Structures are given as structure tokens and as C-alpha cells.
Amino acid sequence: MTSSPDWDGRIFSDGWRAGSADPIDVIAPATGASLGTVGAATGDDLDRAVASATAAQREWAAAPYPVRAGVMLKAAQLLQDDPDRLAGILVPEAGSGQGKAAFEVGLVASELQEAAAVASHPYGELLRSMKPRTSIARRVPIGVVGVISPFNFPAILSMRSVAPALALGNAVILKPDPRTSVSGGLALAALFEEAGLPTGVLHVLPGGGDLGAALVAHPGVPCISFTGSTAAGRRIGEAAAPLLKRVHLELGGNNAQLVLPDADVAAAATVGAWGSFLHQGQICMTTGRHLVHRSMAKEYVRVLAEKAERIPVGDPAEGAPLGPIIDERQLAHVAGIVDAAVAHGATVAAGGAHEGLFYRPTVLTDVETDSPAWTEEIFGPVAPVHVYDDVDEAIDIINASEYGLSVSIITSNAYRAYELCDRIESGAVHINDATVDDEAVIPFGGVKASGVGGRFGGPQASLDTFTETQWITMQDDPARYPF
């Protein structure tokens, strides 16, 4: 892995080459060991990439759709034949548990397969007209799409933008998070290169916030697809607005699990543990708020705390299901919120401690709704529990959050829970399943501070997000006008 002839010390822009800035160290958060380096791009590299992508995109868009679909299918097949080409770097670089890494690889393959289908999807409609002519609306590629992706699920959160954008005839410039430049970018470039993607259609430029800002501001990049924190999304939206760019922002979440009084407590706690602790809670869909009816709250906390205490935490390369927090800065954020919650009157029922970057799965009780642990996105393995007395109160608490990404409802009466969905402000509601859920075929996205712009997944969402609408009329004879 560290001796890779492809990504080690390089960027991907018209082939593999050195970046113009000092290389970025690739560090395994679980051990602190170096996995090698990647190249780092500058504004000059970005200018060169935009010029190359603009030229390559024209020919790529003009290619028959089976050509674009074939590249997507070939990439999916290569990944299915050798999943370790991606999982093998997700584990050390992103701190992914091996199960999480395997799951992520499967999602990436699904995104590629669905993107192949999007390439052949109907891309227009025949419109009625008051005039004797043919009137159609068709979808055309935007041109060059800039993608900025995060560290937590780096491969899938890059690919869900990259694959459909490419399949629909766009070129892509991808800037992955510098902490996961390989699994979130360069490993995907190697996959596409082997699958036959033409030179210049995809560029992967590792770098920090300055490079991301330059990508957002670049006049040759008319569309930005960003996945990351709400704070960063607000800055991107502010920077892009005067430029009248199309911007898609998939942002943070502080997702609630509502346990109704008729729920099975053990089943609810299982769903809650998965929702809060998977990948150390470093997921936008993580269950950050547990709303439990008073009649079962003590039992729920007991079972959830027992589960938290039993989950092994350690180096995922050695088989631990939960790995490290991504870095010291994020660890300090998680620990600071837990400490503030305790100072605010919360009780630690499990966890609340760490060794190095390994933060124990944590259960907090007596959490009030004005506590930072309740109002903020923690992005760590922390399950705050709040007790409610009636469902109306609980729904008001859910909707009081600025976020609206995912909600889970646990109940023995799914149809009753379905009736509550009309009252819940959320991009997704999962009845008897966790807040953490995604499939390549669904239009994924949030509301309120959890996102704005197009959605990811499914043919219609991909068309809405990565194409423009062009209206065309045709008639045999030129129109006659009075002057």
C-alpha cells in the first residue's frame, strides 16, 4: 500500500504527477504510523486542471452513453473483484473498522452501477406548445463539477458525486479531505484510470482549505458539490452566491431516535447503539439524540450502556470494530462536549473516557435540551438520552433542532409512526431502523441546516443535481412577425 506506484507522493491530473506544493503525509490515526505521502495541489495546479477538464469534457459528453456506462460498470467490477484495493486503505487511513470498510466498498460499487444506469436514463420530455412546433426540454451536462468531500466515509461521499456527474457527461475536479486523500480521492482515480476513463475527465487534487476556497471561486467551475460541516457549508454558500454558481451542500446532522412507549426496549437499544457508535459516531447520520419515553427510560439506558461497555475499541487493522477519532482536534471537540454536558448536570452511564484517540462509546443520561451535547453535532461515539412524557412533546423537541437530516422511530405500530412523519422536519425518517442508512437508489439529503441544493442518488436526483435544463423548439418554416 505504501509502495503504491500510483498515489505515493502524487496528485492525479492528466495522469499521475507531483503537485506544486509540499507533499502531505498520510497518517494512520490508530497508530500514528506513516502510510506514505500524497502530492499537494496549488492554485496553479487547479488552473491547469480546470483547463484540461474543460477541454476533455466536450468529447466525453459527446461520447455515446454506452461508453460512459461502460466505464462505470468496469470500475464497479474491478472493485468487486478486488475490494481490498479500497478497503485496504480505508482501514488505516480513515480509521475504519473492517466491517465498516467492507460496507463502504459495497456502497461505492452500488453508486457506480447506478451511475451506469443514469447514463442511459431518459433525459428529456416532450412539451405541449400553443404553436405548431416541436417543443422539448432536455438535460445537458453542466460542464466541470467541483467536488469537495469529507474524511468520515471518504470513498462513498466522494463517489456519490463523482460517479453520476461523470456518467452524465461532466468532467470532475475532486478535492478530498487532506486526512483521507487516498481513500477519498486517489484510490478512486486509480480505479477509474484502470476502468478506461479518458485522460482529463477526472482530476484529484489533495489540499487544504485554501485549495477548496479556490475551487469554489474558480470561474471555470460552474457547479460545486460539497459534503461536510454546516459551518463550512455556510462559508461555501456565502462565497459562491455572488458568483451565481450552482451549489449543492450536504451538511451536518443532529439526528434523533424516538423510542415510543410501545417499543421493545432491547430492540430499540440495539438500533440506538448502531446509530450512535458506528464508525466512532463520525457520520452525519449518527444518532445524536435519544428520546425515550419515561416508562422505559431506565431500562433503555441500562441496556444501551451495557452494549457500549462491551464494544471493543482499538486498532481496526487488528479487528477492533471501533477505531480512533480521526485526529486530536476532533477528539478535543468530543471530549469537550461530554465534559460540558456533565458540568451541565448530565450523568455518564458508560464511557466518557479515552486512551489516545480511542474514545469509548459513551452514554449520557439526564441530558437537558439546552445542553451542548443535545444541541450540537458531536461527531463522536456519544449517545445523549433525554426522557419525554408524551409524543407531542417529543416531536417538538425533534423539530427544535436547526438540523433536519435523519430521524428514527422505534415502535410496535409502524403505521402509527408513519402518521407522525407529516409532523417531522427531516429529509429521512426510518421506522424501526437506525438514523444511519443510505442506498444508492434513493434521493438522499437533508433540510434546514442539514443541506440545500440537489440530492444524491437515483436517476431523477442525479439529473436534477448534475445537469442543466435546455428548452428547444423546432418548426419547419421560420415564424412570421409584424416587424
Residues known to be catalytic? 250, 284
Q: Alpha-carbon distance 471 to 281, whole Å?
A: 45
Q: Per-residue b/e over 418-428, b at no fewer than 16 CB within 10 Å?
A: eebeeebbbbb
Of 289, 30, 286, 20, the C-alpha closest to 153 is 286
Task: Give rounded-to-5 percent helix, strand, coil for the chain.
Answer: 45, 25, 35
For 62, residues 6+ apart whose C-beta sits below 8 A from its C-beta are none
Phi then psi for residue 411, to 5 deg, are -160, 165
In whole angstroms, what is the distance from residue 452 CA to residue 251 CA?
A: 8
How far, in Å, CA of 456 to CA of 332, rounded? 31
The stretches of 82-176 forming alpha helices (DSSP H) are 84-94, 98-119, 154-167
HSE-up (13 A, CA, CB side) for residue 377: 23
In angstroms, the CA 3 to CA 314 distance is 25
Q: What nine digits make up the cell of 28? A: 494512520
Contact predicate 53/68, CB 8 Å? no
List strands edge to edge, sheet with 347-350: 347-350, 362-365, 382-388, 287-293, 255-259, 406-410, 428-431
CB 384 within 8 A of CB 292: no
The CA distance from 341 to 348, in Å, is 9
CA angle at 116 for the pair 1 and 63, rounded to the nearest 5°: 100
Distance separating alpha carbons of residues 309 and 269, to the nearest angstrom = 13
Counting other chains too, the contacts that 228-233 makes at CB distance below 8 Å and 24 or more residues apart are: 228/148, 228/149, 228/150, 228/252, 229/150, 229/377, 230/377, 230/402, 230/403, 230/449, 230/450, 233/451, 233/452
CA distance 259 to 239: 41
CB neighbours of residue 443 within 10 Å: 17
